[in-house]
Amino acid sequence: MSSRNYNSDDGAVMHGEFMAFVNEDQTLRVMRNWAERQGFPIATVQQGGADMFAQMLESASPPKMVMIDIDDQTDPVAAITRLISLSGSDCKLIVIGSANDVALYRQMLNAGIVDYLVKPLIPENLNQAMAAALRGRSVGKSENKEAKLVIVIGTRGGVGASTIAVNTGWLLAHELKFNCALLDLDLQFGTTSLALDLEPGRGLRDIVNSPQRVDGLMIASSIVPESDQFSVLGAEEAVDEYVPMDSGAITALLKEMMGNFDYIVVDLPKHLLASQKRLLTTAHEIVLVTELSLAGIRDSLRIKTALNSLSCTGNLTVVASRVGQGRTGQVDPAAFEKGAQIKIDLTIPEDHKSVTLAANGGKALGSIARNAAVTKALLALAQKLSGGAKAGAQGKENFLQKLLGSAKKSSVKKEINP
Ligand SMILES: Nc1ncnc2c1ncn2[C@@H]1O[C@H](COP(=O)(O)OP(=O)(O)O)[C@@H](O)[C@H]1O
Ligand SMILES: [Mg+2]
């Protein structure tokens, strides 16, 4: 890598897709390493900050995405506002700075930036910011568009609710091409991150603790992208600690996330049912996962009654899970429906082989067992939840998607051919 500092006097050229303007050496180094790995020429990362970008804009069109260090600015918001008016709305601006200040962050979001990254920079955050730029909207800014909230709840432990939440989310994202987030509200024993071989982010515990602390910056730093279309918010808190959860904070969290995704799938542990009534009443879709057993009959009936008494307006989808010959204590579906006074909408077969393969490989069923009956049943669920809608109109792969593709694990590139 060249140690030469490029500047406009040097004849630096504005790249059509990406540029970064930073101030000090540490940020320069991290940014150049990252840019190089993304396949951008080294000269796309310049030492010079906001002023240099403004200067280059006098004689060149802006790139599609630009990262700006604002530490040298006395009035960062004014500087950013000016840059946005100079560069136009097609140029996505990501700001970098040392100040960890929510008020400043909000002001800059309102000015129209896509994301704000607090130094020191780490490549994961850069990837994430690029994903936000790819989605064409800020990570914290609410838009008119509202995500569909899908809550998955199991009648009993082990019925496969988490497996369904993870894989349905994955299919909504990868197969049906929606922007999807998965929120795992089992902060201690949740398995969604594990199932996708992701390191759970830090911060969800603080978020669910107090509504005052919910903000876009905090969510952005806690959410882990699995790919450009699919992100996971989960935790692995100590098992011997009490983890308090404030229902107001969860509502605030979802409200903050709503503008940024097409679907938010929540894996709701059933012991939270009583404390998360507000969440249930705001859901657009509730997926009740049950096994076909006597206990399943009793608890499906009880949960359905509880949902009715909460006046939940969301659609209820009843999923008979892990159905098959390998399972003991099963009743037949007609007896189940009669006993629970409930109609089974979908059946997910027991498939020990595929589910074990996926679990042990940290991969979604859609990527590792794409033709298995269990995957097809999950795809039918994803389709039902999306109202039979076709792909989320992401259109052709653009440059950012290609780049993200190269940064992603290979598994997420596989497509399902149902
Ligand atoms: N359709 C299925 N076929 C076979 N095993 C399954 C299936 N669904 C889930 N499992 C397995 O059952 C166990 C419990 O699943 P999980 O999704 O964690 O259930 P829950 O969240 O309802 O407690 C896990 O070991 C999982 O791999
Ligand atoms: Mg679970």
User: How many Å apart are CA 67 and CA 39, to the nearest integer?
Assistant: 16
Do 252 and 359 lie in one domain? The reply is yes
Which residue, of 134, 165, 180, is where some domain finishes? 134
Do 153 and 18 lie in one domain? The reply is no
For residue 157, give the ligand 1 atom closest to its CA.
Answer: 23
Q: Does residue 405 sit within a domain?
A: no
Do 85 and 191 lie in one domain? The reply is no
Q: How far is the CA of 386 from the centre of ligand 1 (A)?
A: 23
Atom 25 (ligand 1): residue with closest C-alpha?
158
Do 328 and 379 lie in one domain? The reply is yes
Q: Please give the helix or strand (H or E) that residue 282 lies within, else none.
A: helix 277-282
Ligand 1 within 6 A of 168 CB?
A: no
Do 161 and 302 lie in one domain? The reply is yes
User: How many Å apart are CA 36 and CA 44, to the nearest integer?
Assistant: 9
Which residue, of 103, 134, 165, is where some domain finishes? 134
- The answer to whether 218 touches 113, Cβ cutoff 8 Å, is no
Angle, helix 76-87 to helix 49-57, in steps of 10 degrees:
20
Ligand 1 within 6 A of 98 CB?
A: no
Atom 9 (ligand 1): residue with closest C-alpha?
160
For residue 359, give the ligand 1 atom closest to its CA.
Answer: 27
The pairs formed by 191-195 with CB atoms below 8 angstroms and a separation of 24 or more are 191/162, 191/166, 192/162, 192/165, 192/166, 192/232, 192/234, 192/267, 193/224, 193/232, 193/234, 193/236, 194/362, 195/162, 195/163, 195/166, 195/358, 195/359, 195/362, 195/364
For residue 356, give the ligand 1 atom closest to its CA.
Answer: 27
Q: Does residue 413 sit within a domain?
A: no
User: How many Å apart are CA 385 and CA 381, to the nearest integer?
Assistant: 6
Which residue, of 134, 156, 172, is where some domain finishes? 134
Q: Which residues contact 360 (CB under 8 A, 6 or more apart)?
A: none
Q: Which of 193, 347, 355 to mutate to test the pocket of ligand 1 (most atoms within 8 A of CB)?
A: 355
Looking at residue 370, its amino acid is R
The residue whose two tokens read 């496969």 is: 160
Q: Please give the helix or strand (H or E) that residue 265 lies within, else none.
A: strand 263-268
Atom 8 (ligand 1): residue with closest C-alpha?
160
Q: Which of 163, 185, 191, 193 to mutate to test the pocket of ligand 1 (most atoms within 8 A of CB)?
A: 163
- The answer to whether 245 touches 278, Cβ cutoff 8 Å, is no
Q: Does residue 260 sit within a domain?
A: yes
Q: Does residue 401 sit within a domain?
A: no
User: How many Å apart are CA 265 and CA 248, to the nearest integer?
Assistant: 18
Do 75 and 168 lie in one domain? The reply is no
CB atoms within 10 A of CB 325: 8
Ligand 1 within 6 A of 154 CB?
A: yes
- The answer to whether 319 touches 331, Cβ cutoff 8 Å, is no
What pTM did the predictor assign?
0.66
b/e per residue 264-278 (b: at least 16 CB within 10 A): bbbbbbbebbeebbe
Ligand 1 within 6 A of 152 CB?
A: no
Ligand in nearest proximity to the CA of 269: 2
Do 65 and 116 lie in one domain? The reply is yes
Give the structural domain span for 60.
3-134
Q: What is the pLDDT of residue 201?
A: 87
Ligand in nearest proximity to the CA of 154: 1
Atom 27 (ligand 1): residue with closest C-alpha?
355
Do 159 and 301 lie in one domain? The reply is yes
Q: Does residue 352 sit within a domain?
A: yes
User: How many Å apart are CA 97 and CA 71, to the nearest integer?
Assistant: 5
Do 243 and 381 lie in one domain? The reply is yes
CA distances (Å), 236 to each of 16, 147, 193, in order? 41, 26, 9
Ligand 1 within 6 A of 16 CB?
A: no
- 378: domain CATH number is 3.40.50.300
Do 176 and 41 lie in one domain? The reply is no
User: How many Å apart are CA 107 and CA 93, to the nearest integer?
Assistant: 14
Q: Does residue 408 sit within a domain?
A: no
Q: Does residue 179 sit within a domain?
A: yes
Q: How far is the CA of 164 from the centre of ligand 1 (A)?
A: 8
Do 71 and 166 lie in one domain? The reply is no
Tens of pLDDT, residue by residue, the chain (418 residues): 333 333 444 568 999 889 999 999 999 999 999 998 888 899 999 999 999 999 999 999 999 899 999 999 999 999 999 999 888 878 999 999 999 888 888 888 888 898 899 999 988 888 878 877 766 544 444 445 689 999 999 999 999 999 999 999 999 999 999 999 999 999 999 999 999 999 998 889 989 988 777 777 788 888 999 998 999 999 999 999 899 888 888 988 998 898 889 999 999 999 999 888 888 988 999 999 999 999 999 999 999 999 988 888 889 999 999 999 878 889 999 999 999 999 999 999 999 999 999 999 999 999 999 999 999 999 999 999 998 654 444 433 333 343 344 333 333 333 333 3
Q: How far is the CA of 365 from the centre of ligand 2 (A)?
A: 16
Do 153 and 130 lie in one domain? The reply is no
DSSP 44-86: GEEESHHHHHHHHHTTS---SEEEEE-TT-SSHHHHHHHHHHH
User: How many Å apart are CA 14 and CA 17, to the nearest integer?
Assistant: 9
Q: Does residue 403 sit within a domain?
A: no
Into how many domains does the chain fold? Answer: 2
> What proportions of the chain, in percent to the nearest 5, are helix, strand and coil?
45, 15, 40
Ligand 1 within 6 A of 326 CB?
A: no
| Residues in the chain, overall count | 418
- 98: domain CATH number is 3.40.50.2300
Q: How far is the CA of 351 from the centre of ligand 1 (A)?
A: 10
